[in-house]
Structure 1
Amino acid sequence: MTKRQIVGLACAAAAVASGLGAASPAAAAPTVHHVKPGESIQKAMNSAKPGDVVLLAPGTYHESVDVGVSGVTLQGSGARSTVLVPAASETSETSETSATSETSAASDKSAADSACAKAGNGVCVTGTEADPVKNVTVRSLTLRGFSKSGLWATGTDRLRVEKVTSEKNGQWGIAQERSLRGVFRGNTATGNGDAGLFLANTVSAEEGAVDTRRAVISHNRLRDNRIGLTVRRLRNLTVDHNEATGNCTAMFLVGDENTPRPGELRVVANDVHANNKYCAKTARLPYLQGSGIILTGVEDSLVAGNRVEDNVGEAPMSGGIVLAKNFKNALNQRNAIRDNVVVRNGTADLAVQDDGEGNTFRDNTCATSRPGGLC
């Protein structure tokens, strides 16, 4: 074969390849599923594929929603204008439902059939540890008045919850278990029966701490809950730039005797003030009042650069930053408490109530401590 023939064959092959490429279909673009009040959010979610957006128009929706597909986004038109409430609460939303709040038979049916609704939750993002739901986003809506949680997630990876208001729910505002790499940013949790934000290894078994692989809780507002934020039996997580006020306890970092131990938490640059609401004791906890940041059974964690002010009470765990005695006798160990402003807290600005070793207090601005000498 001559050189000219070889060049000709190469050109022909390139032309064929180019033609095939031009003829191949383009990748399908993500679909935006528009939903209006009176239409079923669940029906749209059941049709969504990875990459799709279920976009909710302003109004009130009497419905719970199950999300079980990776890569989808559930997005409202803003927390002030898009509201989800339980189906049974239709008559209580008169001031906000107006002409856009009618509930269709389709949404009534989806609400009745929803596993999320039957559990008392508003939005549920549900996978398993073996097959997690990945890269789901929930943003820009309000979840109000559900008997359990506004948002409940289990078996997720890289869940993002952003600009969600979760208020007046029976137990948790926004809650997650058995999940990795979650991001909870710019949310408001207020008036919930237990924690406004609740992240745990699991709620149903005694197990060691889960490495969250750098989950983030950032720039949230936590007000008038029993506990603003609970982080229970987790490792490798950051809590930064949140505001917590008006709760019984602002932030509760909880461990126990199981292994791996909870720890490697970074609690930095938070504004924790006037968490002086009274909450009665439970089977697991004494009464709560006037607590800023509580560590109990946690190790190798950093609490730095926070403002912890005016948290006042006489409860067993009252105080600004408290290393509390764990009900399972798990010790706080090797935690660094530094560069915080901790003032006007009672019973003390800084308090250590257990015998854990290696905890350090450095360069904090404070006036009182128990035992003395920590300021």
Structure 2
Amino acid sequence: MKKNILILFLLIAAVGLGYWQGQRGLDAQRGTVAVESANELLSAGRAGGGTADNALNQVKTAGKVHTVKDGESIQAAVLAAQPGDTIRVMPGTYKEIVYIDKDDIAIVGVISDSKWPTLEGEGTRNDAILYSGNGIRIENLKITHYKGNAIMGQAGNNFVIRHNWIVDTGVYGIFPQFGQNGLIEYNVLTGIEDAAIYVGMCDNIHVAHNEVFGNVAGIEIENSRHAVVENNTAYDNTGGILVFITPGLPIKTTFDVIVRNNFISGNNHPNFGAPGSIVSGLPAGTGIVVMAADDVIIENNIIRDNKNVGIVITDHASFANVTADPESEPNPDRVQILNNIMTGNGTEPITEIKALMTLNLTTEAPDIVAVGGGKDSCIIDRARYRSIGLGNYTECTRTNTNDVASYLLPQPAERRSTDTGNKGKLAYFAICAGCHAYNARMIGPPTLTIQALYADDAQAIADYIANPVKKRPDFPAMPPQSYLDAATRLEVAKFMLTVDK
């Protein structure tokens, strides 16, 4: 009887997930959010936000409203805006790059009669929106055909990114870097060659109610702490949700990450990541990957039909394309696998997992595989899953994460400033380290390689930052950072030459 009830529940979940995915996609195409004023947009954005949303309501943008119409410039409105202002973007096509270096600016799109405000990169522009201000909010935009990123945060705290539709924007879709206290919700992203939502070196982050499909990685939490990833749908990616420590970055840890209540289904898309990058080593058919991260809790997810494996827990040594970093502890410790529903995973495992199956004298397709080091991890009712490598996992004493609504801060985080004499270091952490690890290959060559190429010539690096040219066939072209002033480019070049870890 219990078995029949479980089968019925799975069938209901499968049908519901398929309908929900299809409806979300149709809603995005039809533009069902039809609102005509900034106040209505704020109300629509807050509907159903709950505790996580309320934690950022203190980030105020209650000043003047600047309306941008088709044929006008969003960047011009940003230049005219003052902290606290809202830029309301009407339906139309905007072929530009927008840079926000002011605090408390909101860019809010108006979607009416199925028509979106669309930032169009035409396959030639690198980034759609770059922000370094604090208290930035970006809502209700369609962003497509950029080469680098759709929305990239560069050390801005207290950000909200929601209700955006992002298609084919190159390396990353939504990419907050070196920020604190941020909410990413109700976005739809597809066609991204690295991670659709990539949280890099951040703290106190909430990622919820997003739909990610057709990307290499759906959602990636990298070298970040205190994050909740919940109620997302990740399907038809190469890998669904990744929680990583990437070696060679200035922040060396990932911990306190909760992955709960997500649909992680059929992530079997062929890997089209940049050759040599870390995610290019991600096997197709992988639901969740925890690499070297600590204190990760996986709870109440539906993880199904991922042909390689449902969950992989791995150290650095066991993952492809990873260079050791002596300052990064390489093992995943204190991972907790609580109650999850897993079915249909592991039907076509990669060669390495087949070898593990042979060593463990099993032919059963695996739901969970743990390889390499790690300590003090646990699982609830391991017998319900087909697993490999969980011999040292104990029975979890914790049964749920109901005590953690969010890791967002009850008050806005302190605002980061570049007026403290550390402009070069801040720019390196917030911008350069997203693509250049110290001693490991990412999207760009390692910082060590750059130091060897340029020796003590900081000015040459600064000039290249402003106007880069493609030099190496094995790396994608670097986007120009000419929006940085000459003094900042020189300071970050000097800092890059002195970094030693």
Matched, 1:122 2:128: yes
Distance in 1 between residues matched to 2:196 and 2:307, nearest whole Å: 20
User: What number of residue pairs does the alignment pair up?
Assistant: 298
Structure 1 residue 355: deviation in Å? 2.1
Structure 1 residue 266: deviation in Å? 0.9
Structure 1 residue 76: deviation in Å? 0.8
Structure 1 residue 324: deviation in Å? 1.9
Is this contact kept in 1: 2:216–2:272, CA < 8 A? no
Is this contact kept in 2: 1:123–1:151, CA < 8 A? yes
* CA distances 1:174-215 after superposition (whole Å, capped 9, x unpaired): 1111110111010111111111101111xxxxxxxx5x1x21
Bigger relative contact order, structure 1 or 2 (CA pairs below 8 A, ≥6 apart) = 2
For 2:237, the equivalent position in structure 1 comes to 247
Is this contact kept in 1: 2:123–2:146, CA < 8 A? no
Counterpart secondary structure, 2:76: helix
Matched, 1:370 2:376: no
Counterpart secondary structure, 1:42: helix
Distance in 2 between residues matched to 1:217 and 1:179, nearest whole Å: 14
Evaluate the alpha carbon distance shift between residue 47 and residue 274 of structure 1 in structure 2; reply closer, same or farther with a 3 A threshold. same
Aligned-pair Cα RMSD in Å:
2.3
For 1:4, the equivalent position in structure 2 comes to none
Higher helix share: 2
* CA distances 1:27-78 after superposition (whole Å, capped 9, x unpaired): x972111111111111111011111111111111111111111111101113
Distance in 1 between residues matched to 2:62 and 2:313, nearest whole Å: 52
Evaluate the alpha carbon distance shift between residue 228 and residue 87 of structure 1 in structure 2; reply closer, same or farther with a 3 A threshold. closer
Is this contact kept in 1: 2:243–2:290, CA < 8 A? yes
* Unmatched segments (≥5 aa) in structure 1: 1-27, 90-116, 127-132, 202-209, 314-318
Q: Which residue among 77, 91, 108 is the counterpart of 1:58?
A: 91
After TM superposition, the score normalised by the length of structure 1 is 0.75
Residue identity over aligned pairs, in percent, reads 22
Is this contact kept in 1: 2:200–2:221, CA < 8 A? yes
Structure 1 residue 80: deviation in Å? 5.1
* CA distances 1:78-118 after superposition (whole Å, capped 9, x unpaired): 395111012677xxxxxxxxxxxxxxxxxxxxxxxxxxx5x
Is this contact kept in 2: 1:305–1:341, CA < 8 A? yes
Evaluate the alpha carbon distance shift between residue 39 and residue 357 of structure 1 in structure 2; reply closer, same or farther with a 3 A threshold. same
Distance in 1 between residues matched to 2:304 and 2:141, nearest whole Å: 31
Distance in 1 between residues matched to 2:212 and 2:255, nearest whole Å: 22
Distance in 2 between residues matched to 1:308 and 1:250, nearest whole Å: 9
Equivalent residue letter for 2:181 = R
Higher strand share: 1
Evaluate the alpha carbon distance shift between residue 61 and residue 280 of structure 1 in structure 2; reply closer, same or farther with a 3 A threshold. closer
Counterpart secondary structure, 1:134: coil
Q: Which residue among 297, 300, 314 is the counterpart of 1:324?
A: 314
Q: Which residue among 213, 219, 222 is the counterpart of 1:229?
A: 219
Evaluate the alpha carbon distance shift between residue 364 and residue 175 of structure 1 in structure 2; reply closer, same or farther with a 3 A threshold. farther
For 2:258, the equivalent position in structure 1 comes to 266
Q: Mean Cα displacement is larger for which, 217-226 or 76-85? A: 76-85
Equivalent residue letter for 1:244 = A
Distance in 2 between residues matched to 1:156 and 1:88, nearest whole Å: 27
For 1:166, the equivalent position in structure 2 comes to 166
Equivalent residue letter for 1:369 = S
Distance in 2 between residues matched to 1:365 and 1:196, nearest whole Å: 34
Equivalent residue letter for 1:174 = I
